[in-house]
Amino acid sequence: MGHRGDNANSLYRSNSFSSLGPGRSQLQSFRSVHFNAQQRRFDLLCRTCQYSFRVDEHGWLEHLYWGVRLQPDDDLDFLRHTNISLPFDPIPEKAETFKPHIFVVSDILKRQSRDSNRNTWKAATMMQRHHYNEEASRLENACWRLLAMKQRRLLREREMAEGEGPQMNTTAFIPMTEDERALLFEEAVAKLMNDIADTRLKAASAKKDAWEVREPGAVKQQGEEQTSMSRIPPGLERVGRNTKLLEFSDYGTGDYRIPSFRVMYADGSHISPMLYKTHRVMLGVVPMGCGMPIVGDEFSVQTDAATLIVTLADPFTDLEVDLHYTVYEDFDIIVRRTVIRNKAPRGAGGVTVLKLASATVDFESDAYHFLHLPGEWAAERQVTVQPIVEGYRGVDSRRGTSSHQHNPFAVIARGDTPPEEDRGEVYGFALMYSGNHRIEVEKTETGRVRLNIGINPDHFSWSLASGGSLESPECIMAYSSDGLTYMSQQLHKLIRTHVIPQEFRGNWVCPILLNTWEAFYFQQTHDNIMQIAKEAKEIGVELLVVDDGWFGRRDDEYTSLGDWDVDFRKLPKGLKALVDEVNGLGLKFGIWVEPEMISVQSKLYEAKPEWALGQAGKSRSEGRNQLVLDFTRKDVRDYIYRKLEAILMSANIEYVKWDCNRHLTEVYSRQLSPAKQGEVFHRYVLGVYEVFRMLRARFPHVIIENCAGGGGRFDVAMLKYSPQIWCSDNTDALSRIRIQYGTSLAYPISAIGSHVSTVPNHQTFRHTPLKTRFVVALCGTFGYELDLTKEISAVEKEQLKAMNRLRTRLAPIIFQGDFYRLWNPFDSSSSVAAWMFVTPDRLKALVFAFISFKKSPGRYLPRLRLRGLDPDEKYTVSELVPTTIRRITSVQFAEDPHRPVYQFGKPTIEISGKALLNCGLPIKLEFDGDSCLFEITAHTHIASTQVVLPPGGASSPVLNKRKSRDGPGTTLLALLEEQEIPRSVSSRAVV
Ligand code: DGJ
């Protein structure tokens, strides 16, 4: 793939505006957000792409363009001429009535809104309450000090006004109401945040251009602009809302497409025209008041992002909407969210929000494809692509979690053929939300296409009393002009650097774990655990995870969820003694919990039946024989948090697997009023986030692995708390190839929980060679899920040891490398898959190829063309885990000669990057479930080492005696010893 920024657009890599053309005086620029006052146009500029929209003559936000970066002096006004006035297109009564009431561009660092200050503060205190960090408490103290100073000053002013002269009593405060006090406190917070931000901005602006501050009224002085506000080009006077490309589609005013939001006022009306009111720009990200996870760090000013907030207002009511755009310039990513506010005076009627999309994106008339990731339990995220045709389609979850069935991720790809990996324009959307979501796509009679993404409006309503606001989850929008690979790589990088918890970023690689679920199921006894722990330690496992069954009376799935106390029948010495013993072996310890659930057969249910979701007097449905706790309730959340805290405090536990094994039904909270029952689904998710957040704050170094019956809650929001997610309950390697491939579209490989399990596989009963089980698990967090005490022979044990050493060596490339998909297992004609990882310096790479079933012995595979390498570099290609199957030419018979059979007749070859990119590797995958793994090292890689896998077969009598339990080619899996050999020797090394 071409390297981004190496094209003509590289001119714009820097934020210098010296090259700007005419109209510069009216161009206000703050980092990656540019505002052209004359054209009322916003350009959000990323490294290679641009997102542009304008305030039109009616005050609507007209979307103009999302694509590769253009020339800065391109006047995108001409794009309006694609609009056509149509007979059935309603237009406002007076097309020219819009006069912006404020139209001020201000530096938010000077005039931050009360709302965002309030949100910042709420978020900060929330974290502080849960012992997040010292900064929060320092901040609070400073605010109280500022408040006290301000009160004193007011008092002095009042005294002066009353002619009393200053008093000496500096501790006196003006008596004030709670509201006044809150207001002052907010101002104090605002001042403090501004001071902090100012200082940081000064530091940052040493490198980057600072915002041109314009005072209110500055734009109005430019008389010409005022005229142009109402000038509509001839022929466009009658273009209504219904056909325009819009940033936010209001309801009931003539846009018949799927709207961005819908409200109901107290008088029963839904009509809500939303017009531009003002906008502001700030450095960094804006925290969510409701505590929802966001991309980026809400507790410091992030200097690599800038946020534009455009406020729309309903001129007839007190409703306002903020559209947030956070621009991650270096990632070609824009993160959007929407906030709706009822600014009605106290006592005035409330508003009910029935729908609030996080983002609406309208696409110009063209051919498009829609890619999404539907699935089911044990077959999550199966890539599905369809052309977008006239009409409406939606994919969503109504299950309370993001779900196995429809992942909150989708791609719109331009073109009349399905998207490709290395070419074509693609637009990726990942919703940062773990509950009910909906992605809706509509192609209308004009050929234009709208996408809305956000919380599912089904079974959703939210009452906004006066002063209230509702925030949508964030939507990450990634653009690529070079196909899917670049889009995925940017999402992976953003998630790795700005979403997963700080502690697990950078060079961090998760420990190799062994999970006891498929080994013991509910029989998690002290003896079982210690036996497997010893074996695990011996083969090089680093973390032992005790799964479901260690608590209450949990002998099966009918009982004990909610009773988070040790089952002394199984762990007679208690949890701490067990953890200490495991630690004593040199292993970390992890534990399984399912905090959101309650079994009817439990002490908790006996005591608190009303804590389960559902309506009194009506029956409830069980899923996996359990009910769901009402996480909208604070008492429930506090109880569960305290139990989790107690478990984690009781012993040296360094990992938690947070499971969730059913979807929600009978969604009703007994604690909420009837009017608020439409809020339960969303409040439930907010409640889950709160407990996750508290855990993270209290135990920042504990690895949390999220799981929901496998990969039923694999979404970006969960990655804010857990750096890894169990990808699927299906541990069968061949099924996993497709699941992991689909998951890679949006999510980094470092987040994909993947284990080597036994054969026959517990979900599919398939026998897959150990080699393939190993290489598939390698492309994820890597671990084991099998009974090492029974299911592994002495020979395999040696192989596992070598595999673990190999994984430790290769993991940095897998965790931090750029990921390229090569062969797509979802191609209908395909039974193969391949992908590769390349380090950012292009000096190291790993290539994986798999075959699920051999269609015909005579059919050749295409050569595997590699990607991401440097064409001018010379590379050594080493085959790491050779097969032992070969074909005897005379009889065309496949046999297992019990010694390594290398793809190229020898363990390594030397070849140029150009050849690898253009000719590809000739690969033979000889039997069902076969695979291969190559390590590629550039010759300029100074400390070059080669790995040769010496044959373990013919020389090993043990191996020769063994029957092929793991399928062909693996009984002789070479003892994967690493050898450092000089480069000159490596090319000559032969079997
Ligand atoms: C479902 C998970 O996905 C499994 O790995 C295991 O933890 C079970 N739940 C335990 O009940």
At 662, the amino acid letter reads R
Domain that holds residue 52: 33-82
Evaluate: CB of 659 within 6 angstroms of ligand 1.
Answer: yes
pLDDT-derived band of residue 119, with 50, 70 and 90 as boundaries?
A: low
Residue 649 has pLDDT above 80, yes or no: yes
Evaluate: CB of 730 within 6 angstroms of ligand 1.
Answer: no
Q: Which of 518, 726, 727, 732 to mutate to test the pocket of ligand 1 (most atoms within 8 A of CB)?
A: 726
The answer to whether position 438 is within a domain reads no
How many independent structural domains does the chain possess?
1
Are 544 and 556 a contacting pair, CB within 8 Å? Answer: no
The answer to whether position 449 is within a domain reads no
Are 292 and 716 a contacting pair, CB within 8 Å? Answer: no
CB environment 789-820: b (16+ within 10 A), e (fewer): eeebeebbebbbbbbbebbbebbebbbbbbbb
- How much is the average pLDDT of 292-321? 91
**Per-residue confidence (pLDDT) for residue 112, from 0 to 100:** 44
* 612 against 102, higher pLDDT: 612
User: What proportion of the chain, given as a percentage, has pLDDT over 70?
Assistant: 78
Are 427 and 361 a contacting pair, CB within 8 Å? Answer: yes
pLDDT-derived band of residue 830, with 50, 70 and 90 as boundaries?
A: confident
Pairing type for strands 588-593 and 543-546 reads parallel
Q: What is the pLDDT of residues 362-412, one digit of tens each?
A: 999 999 999 999 999 999 999 999 999 999 999 999 999 999 999 999 999
CB atoms within 10 A of CB 652: 12
Are 426 and 484 a contacting pair, CB within 8 Å? Answer: yes
Q: Which of 513, 517, 554, 718 to mutate to test the pocket of ligand 1 (most atoms within 8 A of CB)?
A: 517
HSE (side-chain half, CA atoms, 13 Å) at 323: 25
Instruction: Calculate how far, in angstroms, residue 768's C-alpha sits from the geometric centre of ligand 1.
Output: 22
Instruction: Calculate how far, in angstroms, residue 634's C-alpha sits from the geometric centre of ligand 1.
Output: 27
CB environment 383-392: b (16+ within 10 A), e (fewer): beeeebeeee
Q: Which of 404, 524, 547, 754 to mutate to test the pocket of ligand 1 (most atoms within 8 A of CB)?
A: 547
Instruction: Calculate how far, in angstroms, residue 518's C-alpha sits from the geometric centre of ligand 1.
Output: 9
- CA 932 vs CA 15, 839, 857, 864: distances in Å: 45, 19, 18, 12
Instruction: Calculate how far, in angstroms, residue 705's C-alpha sits from the geometric centre of ligand 1.
Output: 12
Mean pLDDT of the chain: 84
Instruction: Calculate how far, in angstroms, residue 593's C-alpha sits from the geometric centre of ligand 1.
Output: 10
Sign, CA dihedral 176-178-179-184, equals positive
CB atoms within 10 A of CB 199: 11
Beta bridge partners of 53: 42, 63
Looking from the CA of residue 521, the nearest atom of ligand 1 is 10
Residue 672 has pLDDT above 70, yes or no: yes
Least confident range of 179-183, 532-536, 717-721, 821-825: 179-183
Evaluate: CB of 710 within 6 angstroms of ligand 1.
Answer: yes
Instruction: Calculate how far, in angstroms, residue 710's C-alpha sits from the geometric centre of ligand 1.
Output: 7
**Per-residue confidence (pLDDT) for residue 84, from 0 to 100:** 85
HSE (side-chain half, CA atoms, 13 Å) at 885: 19
**Per-residue confidence (pLDDT) for residue 568, from 0 to 100:** 98
Report the candidate in 225, 238, 239, 223 with the shortest Cα–Cα distance to residue 62. 239
> How far does CA 289 lie from the centroid of its chain?
20
Evaluate: CB of 547 within 6 angstroms of ligand 1.
Answer: yes
Are 261 and 353 a contacting pair, CB within 8 Å? Answer: yes
- How much is the average pLDDT of 738-750? 98
Are 933 and 875 a contacting pair, CB within 8 Å? Answer: no
Instruction: Calculate how far, in angstroms, residue 783's C-alpha sits from the geometric centre of ligand 1.
Output: 15
Beta bridge partners of 246: 62
- How much is the average pLDDT of 93-122? 46
Are 769 and 775 a contacting pair, CB within 8 Å? Answer: no
**Per-residue confidence (pLDDT) for residue 886, from 0 to 100:** 81
* 127 against 923, higher pLDDT: 923
SS3 content of the chain, % helix, strand, coil (to 5): 25, 25, 50
The answer to whether position 774 is within a domain reads no
Instruction: Calculate how far, in angstroms, residue 849's C-alpha sits from the geometric centre of ligand 1.
Output: 29
Evaluate: CB of 409 within 6 angstroms of ligand 1.
Answer: no
CB atoms within 10 A of CB 579: 23
Evaluate: CB of 296 within 6 angstroms of ligand 1.
Answer: no
The answer to whether position 61 is within a domain reads yes
Evaluate: CB of 548 within 6 angstroms of ligand 1.
Answer: yes
Say which residues have a Cβ less than 8 Å from residue 119's Cβ, sequence separation at least 6: 286, 287, 288, 289
Evaluate: CB of 192 within 6 angstroms of ligand 1.
Answer: no
Q: What is the pLDDT of residues 161-212, one digit of tens each?
A: 655 543 433 334 445 555 555 555 655 655 565 555 455 445 444 433 323 3
**Residue 82: strand, helix, or coil:** helix
Longest dimension (CA), the chain: 114
Looking from the CA of residue 515, the nearest atom of ligand 1 is 5
Beta bridge partners of 450: 362, 442
Instruction: Calculate how far, in angstroms, residue 663's C-alpha sits from the geometric centre of ligand 1.
Output: 14
Q: Which of 555, 659, 714, 755 to mutate to test the pocket of ligand 1 (most atoms within 8 A of CB)?
A: 659
Ligand 1, atom 11, residue with closest C-alpha: 548
Evaluate: CB of 928 within 6 angstroms of ligand 1.
Answer: no
Q: Which of 401, 523, 548 to mutate to test the pocket of ligand 1 (most atoms within 8 A of CB)?
A: 548
Residue 958 has pLDDT above 50, yes or no: no
Pairing type for strands 783-785 and 755-757 reads parallel
Residue 495 has pLDDT above 60, yes or no: yes
Evaluate: CB of 517 within 6 angstroms of ligand 1.
Answer: yes
The conformation of residue 47, written as its DSSP 8-state character, comes to S
Evaluate: CB of 729 within 6 angstroms of ligand 1.
Answer: yes
Are 725 and 744 a contacting pair, CB within 8 Å? Answer: no
Are 878 and 903 a contacting pair, CB within 8 Å? Answer: no
d(CA 987, CA 979): 14
**Per-residue confidence (pLDDT) for residue 14, from 0 to 100:** 22
Angle formed at CA 707 by CA 753 and CA 456, multiple of 5 degrees: 120
Evaluate: CB of 714 within 6 angstroms of ligand 1.
Answer: no
Instruction: Calculate how far, in angstroms, residue 61's C-alpha sits from the geometric centre of ligand 1.
Output: 47
Instruction: Calculate how far, in angstroms, residue 545's C-alpha sits from the geometric centre of ligand 1.
Output: 12
Beta bridge partners of 592: 657
Looking from the CA of residue 729, the nearest atom of ligand 1 is 3
Q: What is the pLDDT of residues 700-729, one digit of tens each?
A: 999 999 999 999 999 999 999 999 999 999
**Per-residue confidence (pLDDT) for residue 185, from 0 to 100:** 60
Q: What is the pLDDT of residues 897-911, one digit of tens each?
A: 888 999 999 999 999
Q: What is the pLDDT of residues 771-807, one digit of tens each?
A: 999 999 999 999 999 999 999 999 999 999 999 999 9
d(CA 932, CA 879): 7
- How much is the average pLDDT of 639-646? 98
**Per-residue confidence (pLDDT) for residue 367, from 0 to 100:** 98
Evaluate: CB of 839 within 6 angstroms of ligand 1.
Answer: no
**Per-residue confidence (pLDDT) for residue 184, from 0 to 100:** 59
Helix axes 733-744, 770-778, angle to 10 degrees: 20
The answer to whether position 50 is within a domain reads yes
Evaluate: CB of 731 within 6 angstroms of ligand 1.
Answer: no
Ligand 1, atom 2, residue with closest C-alpha: 709
d(CA 193, CA 146): 12
d(CA 880, CA 846): 10
Instruction: Compute the CA torsion angle 322, 328, 331, 337 (nearest 10 deg).
Output: -20
The owner of tokens 């889009």 is: 487
Evaluate: CB of 545 within 6 angstroms of ligand 1.
Answer: no
Evaluate: CB of 661 within 6 angstroms of ligand 1.
Answer: yes
The answer to whether position 883 is within a domain reads no
The answer to whether position 57 is within a domain reads yes
Residues taking part in catalysis:
659, 729
d(CA 118, CA 288): 10
* 350 against 102, higher pLDDT: 350
Evaluate: CB of 592 within 6 angstroms of ligand 1.
Answer: yes
**Per-residue confidence (pLDDT) for residue 342, from 0 to 100:** 95
Looking from the CA of residue 624, the nearest atom of ligand 1 is 11
Instruction: Calculate how far, in angstroms, residue 204's C-alpha sits from the geometric centre of ligand 1.
Output: 47
Instruction: Calculate how far, in angstroms, residue 339's C-alpha sits from the geometric centre of ligand 1.
Output: 37
**Per-residue confidence (pLDDT) for residue 116, from 0 to 100:** 54
Residue 767 has pLDDT above 90, yes or no: yes
The answer to whether position 45 is within a domain reads yes
Ligand 1, atom 9, residue with closest C-alpha: 709
Ligand 1, atom 6, residue with closest C-alpha: 517
List of E strands, 564-681: 588-593, 597-598, 627-628, 655-658
Q: Phi/psi of residue 125, each to 5°?
A: -70, -35
d(CA 965, CA 714): 34
Q: Which of 515, 594, 661 to mutate to test the pocket of ligand 1 (most atoms within 8 A of CB)?
A: 661
At 871, the amino acid letter reads P
Say which residues have a Cβ less than 8 Å from residue 117's Cβ, sequence separation at least 6: 186, 189, 190, 193
Report the first-to-last Cα separation within the chain, whole angstroms. Answer: 35
The conformation of residue 368, written as its DSSP 8-state character, comes to E
Residue 756 has pLDDT above 90, yes or no: yes
**Per-residue confidence (pLDDT) for residue 74, from 0 to 100:** 87
pLDDT-derived band of residue 77, with 50, 70 and 90 as boundaries?
A: confident
Residue 888 has pLDDT above 70, yes or no: yes
- How much is the average pLDDT of 72-85? 86
* 220 against 142, higher pLDDT: 142
